[in-house]
Structure 1
Amino acid sequence: MSTAWQAAVGGGMLIGTAAVLLMALQGHILGVSGILGNALRHPTQRWRWGVLAGLVATGLLARVAGAAVPELFAHTSWLRLAVSGLLIGAGTALANGCTSGHGVCGLGNRSGRSLVAVAIFMSVAMATVFVTRLGGWGL
């Protein structure tokens, strides 16, 4: 199965299912940046830690099951990953949400604010890929 199909079928279905279950069972939006930020501010809200543990466990289980680390990430330095994470964190703070909150849940709820946020972050992502490839920096 191609990587795109694995992402769509495996990852997409898992995220969609998790979003629906979290809303149905807890009444909360599956916005990972918000869940992480609030878990750190309110550590007694154990459901948040459960969601975060599930994200990590899913990745670990995929590796145990034989899923390979994408070649792109296998050769990326920890510094670059840390800087990328900080930039993503800054973007989620500016957008008041992340790709899962706006892209999965917000669009699913027909939120106009989420539509604008998704259009902006997808445009920035496409421009970043274009510029880095044009400049020969690779991804």
Structure 2
Amino acid sequence: MGEFPISALLGGMLLGVSASLLLWANGRVAGISGIVSGLLTPKQGEVNWRVLFILGMVVASLFAPLMGFSLPMSLPVTSTGIMVAAGLLVGIGTKLGNGCTSGHGICGMGRLSKRSIVATLVFMLVAIVTTFVRLHL
């Protein structure tokens, strides 16, 4: 069950279902950066659903191996400094872009938002260029 095309399809379907359920039940977009950001600056009545959404992602990942999904055989090894810098750059990028890959790529494009379509094209292009540079230069 954990083979690439099937696991990618199932993962995408689960993301779509969770994003749709959150929009339907709460009227909220399932952008992970926005959900986490809302926990850092909480508003009245906004904490419970955010905590439950994040916990759901963590708990689901713990149960995935029981359902036949496997972790990658190896993870890229890098320094802690590079990991911290990368995390900060991602955080800055999501703040500047008013959202992350899940918010723009899944929810925004599903709503045919022009801003999300442009944002998704930009971050996909940057990812392609980054991968090319990393592997070939």
- Band the TM-score falls in, shorter-chain normalisation: 0.7 to 0.9
**Which residue pairs with 2:63 in the alignment?**
61
**Which residue pairs with 2:96 in the alignment?**
94
Choose which of 84, 103, 106 in structure 2 pairs with 1:104. Answer: 106
Q: TM-score, normalised by structure 2?
A: 0.87
**Which residue pairs with 1:40 in the alignment?**
40
Using the TM superposition, give the Cα deviation of residue 81 of structure 1 relative to its aligned residue in structure 2, in angstroms: 3.7
Output the CA distance in 2 between the equivalents of 1:81 and 1:56: 20
Work out whether 1:129 is the aligned partner of 2:131.
Answer: yes
Unaligned 5+ runs, structure 2: none
- 1:32-79, CA deviations, whole angstroms, 9 ceiling, x for partnerless residues? 000000012117621000001011111111134453321352x43462
Using the TM superposition, give the Cα deviation of residue 5 of structure 1 relative to its aligned residue in structure 2, in angstroms: 2.1
Amino acid at match of 2:26: Q
Unaligned 5+ runs, structure 1: none
Amino acid at match of 2:6: W
Amino acid at match of 1:111: S
**Which residue pairs with 1:7 in the alignment?**
8
Amino acid at match of 1:108: G
Q: TM-score, normalised by structure 1?
A: 0.86
Number of aligned residues: 133
The change in CA–CA distance for 1:71 and 1:81 in structure 2 (over 3 A counts) is farther
**Which residue pairs with 2:19 in the alignment?**
19
Output the CA distance in 2 between the equivalents of 1:83 and 1:5: 33
Output the CA distance in 2 between the equivalents of 1:4 and 1:86: 31
Using the TM superposition, give the Cα deviation of residue 122 of structure 1 relative to its aligned residue in structure 2, in angstroms: 0.3
**Which residue pairs with 1:51 in the alignment?**
53
Output the CA distance in 1 between the equivalents of 2:86 and 2:70: 21
The change in CA–CA distance for 1:63 and 1:52 in structure 2 (over 3 A counts) is same
Instruction: Return the structure number with greater relative CO, CA threshold 8 A, min gap 6.
Output: 2
Output the CA distance in 2 between the equivalents of 1:82 and 1:59: 22
Output the CA distance in 2 between the equivalents of 1:127 and 1:54: 33
Output the CA distance in 2 between the equivalents of 1:78 and 1:12: 30
The 3-state SS of whatever aligns with 1:97 is coil
